[in-house]
Amino acid sequence: MSQQIRILIVDDEQVVRTSLEHWFREEGCVVDTAASGKEALTKLASADWDIFLIDIRMPGMDGIELQGRIRETHPDAVVIIMTAYASVDTAVQAMKQGAHDYITKPFDPETLEKMVRAAVEKRRLEKENQQLKRSLDELEQFSEIVGSSSAVREVLEKVQMVAATDSTVLVRGESGTGKELVARAIHAHSARRYMPIVVVNCGALPEGVLESELFGHEKGSFTGAQYRRKGKFEMADGGTLFLDEIGDVGPKTQMDLLRVLEEKAIYRVGGNTRIQVDFRTIAATNRDLEEAVREKSFREDLYYRLNVFTITIPPLRERREDIPVLAAHFLQKLARSMNRQLEGFAPEAMELLMERAWPGNVRELQNAIERAAVVRVRGLIQREDFPFADSAASREQMNGKSLSDLERVHIARVLEETGWNISQAARILEIDRVTLYNKMRKYGIERP
């Protein structure tokens, strides 16, 4: 909501004016306040106000009268009436006289945000600069799919082709090939790009948890459920739902998923209200779904529902011509972000990269280059900057050590190499930051 929405807050209570003023300033709005209807009228001409938030009960001119006066000069302004009393009568009166909405103090943050968002929607056409900004972000996102091979060109063509439609897409490829990147590129080029892309890692959650995660739950639906929670289906409404590791979901969730994809409606756990949801589905898997269907571990009907348009990303070992392009791309990005004069790769270093099988695919390559960039401050990346360059020496170091010894030593070494930058070390180690932090605590690894 960072476009300059202009809001005038009218309330006789100082604390309300201050709180609201503060809240809207964080939203990036231009805000002014008035302590009475009379003061508000003197401020009417000072700006082209978009929203008026008016307390209904004020000494002198009340909120309903003030609303009428505002309408004379600002017929298109959004007026939201506030009250400390949930009175249906006053609500009806205010709405009849043209109030846009009615809100009871204290507000639920979600309600206030929705009201303001609705008002902001009216200004959508004025948001040219914002759209330009987004287009640039999207280009950036697309530029992350890098490669010169015919396989990558084909992937990009398919992304472009399918993005404009609302089709379900199945992205296939080994772990680390960039399936989520492809999903994000499709979303960023679709008509749904102004709404969120919601990622669900289906493989990471046990079936019961996944159900609650996807569907949400109603207040009181189980012991301790004191609040209603929206699930990922609802959060993706209007946008894209990316179901990662779809091949790993259990039989019950498969059945639930199929129903939602067919009916585009859900019931929260413990709820009996049907909620319509509208999202585009992109699923991804590294499993052989056809085999899973034959083995009856994956529902055939769900398979056909998901397999509408397929994009397959080949493993890096099958498109080695992309390795130099990808390596140069990652190095350039890292050099920029780390502010280092890294000029490229020595021939022996590139030879090593070209020879490697890359079982972890592009992600593994990216991490290897990040690590090399950490070790090499300037000049050309050398062969010895990669940890897999001298496997005999590494094997020697590993002799007689337990798995946890190796983990501790490896974590400490990577942290040292990255100058104790947890984000960077976590990327290289391919674990998330919280996991790395927990391991540091477990092994007592501390910055010297």
Partner 1 sequence: MRNVLLVPVGAVDAPLVEYLSLMVGEALGCATHIAAEALSPDRALDPRRRQYYSTEILAMLERAHPPHVGQVLGVAEVDLFIPILTFVFGEAQLGGRVALLSLARLRSSYYGEDEDPDLLYRRAEKEAIHELGHTLGLVHCDDYGCVMRFSSSVEEVDIKGDRFCPNCATRLETADRGYDR
Does position 129 interact with partner 1 (CB under 8 A)? The reply is: no
Q: How far is the CB of 398 from partner 1 (least distance, A)?
A: 29
Site for partner 1 in 394-423 (CB under 8 A): 421-423
Q: Which stretch binds partner 1 (CB under 8 A): 56-64, 154-162, 212-220, 389-397?
A: 212-220
Tokens, residue 92: 């009806």
Using rule CB under 8 A, residue 133 touches partner 1: yes
> For residue 1, which of 51, 40, 47 has the smallest C-alpha distance?
51
Residue 124 as a binder of partner 1 (CB under 8 A): the answer is: no
Figure out which of the listed residues 96, 226, 391, 399 binds partner 1, where binding follows CB under 8 A.
226
> Residue 408 is which amino acid?
R
CA–CA distances in Å: residue 13 to residues 20, 33, 60, 89, 448? 11, 11, 14, 23, 54
Verify binding: residue 443, partner 1, rule CB under 8 A: no
Q: Is 420 left (phi over 0), alpha (psi -120 to 50) or beta?
A: left
* Structural tokens at position 355: 């020879």
One residue of 40, 44, 54, 112 binding partner 1 per CB under 8 A = 112
Closer to partner 1 by Cβ: residue 105 or 317: 105
Q: By CB under 8 A, tell whether 250 contacts partner 1.
A: no
The smaller minimum CB distance to partner 1, of residues 114 and 153, is found at 114
Cβ neighbours around 20 below 10 Å, total: 19
Closer residue to partner 1 in complex, CB, 172/193: 193
Measure the CA–CA gap between 103 and 112, rounded to whole angstroms.
8
Which of 43, 230, 320, 363 forms a contact with partner 1 (CB under 8 A)? 230
Residue among 328, 236, 248 at smallest CA distance from 282: 236
Q: How far apart are CA 427 and CA 425, in angstroms?
A: 5
Longest dimension (CA), the chain: 87
Instruction: Convert residues 166-195 into a mask of x (bound to partner 1 by CB under 8 A) and - (unbound).
Output: -----------------------------x
Task: Considering the complex, state which of residue 73 and residue 276 has its C-beta at the smaller distance from partner 1.
Answer: 276
Closest CB 300 distance from partner 1, rounded Å: 31
**Angle at CA of residue 76, ends 70 and 81, nearest 5°:** 55
Which residue in 241, 222, 244 sits closest to 231, CA to CA?
241
DSSP code per residue over 301-349: HHHHHHTTEEEEEPPGGG-TTHHHHHHHHHHHHHHHHHT--EEEE-HHH
* Of residues 8-27, those binding partner 1 (CB under 8 A): 15-16, 18-20, 22-23, 25-27
Considering only CA atoms, which of 267, 262, 264 is closest in space to residue 279?
Answer: 264
According to DSSP, residue 108 is labeled P
State the pairing for strand pair 78-83/51-55: parallel
Nearer to partner 1 (CB atom), residue 3 or residue 149: 3
Nearest distance, CB of residue 339 and partner 1, angstroms: 11
Per-residue tokens: 430: 């391919």
Q: Which amino acid is at 304?
A: Y
Stretch that binds partner 1, among 66-74, 216-224, 317-325, 360-368 (CB under 8 A): 216-224
> What is the C-alpha radius of gyration for the chain, rounded to an integer number of angstroms?
28
Nearest approach, Cβ of residue 278 and partner 1 (Å): 16
Q: Residue 23 or residue 358: which is nearer to partner 1 going by CB?
A: 23
Cβ proximity to partner 1, 169 vs 195, nearer residue: 195
Identify the residue among 153, 294, 317, 441 touching partner 1 (CB under 8 A). Answer: 441
Window of 63-71, 281-289, 291-299, 433-441 that interacts with partner 1 by CB under 8 A: 433-441
Q: Under the rule (CB under 8 A), what is the footprint of partner 1?
A: 1-2, 15-16, 18-20, 22-23, 25-28, 105-110, 112-113, 130, 133-134, 136-137, 140, 195-198, 212, 216-217, 222-227, 229-231, 234-235, 421-423, 432-435, 437-438, 441
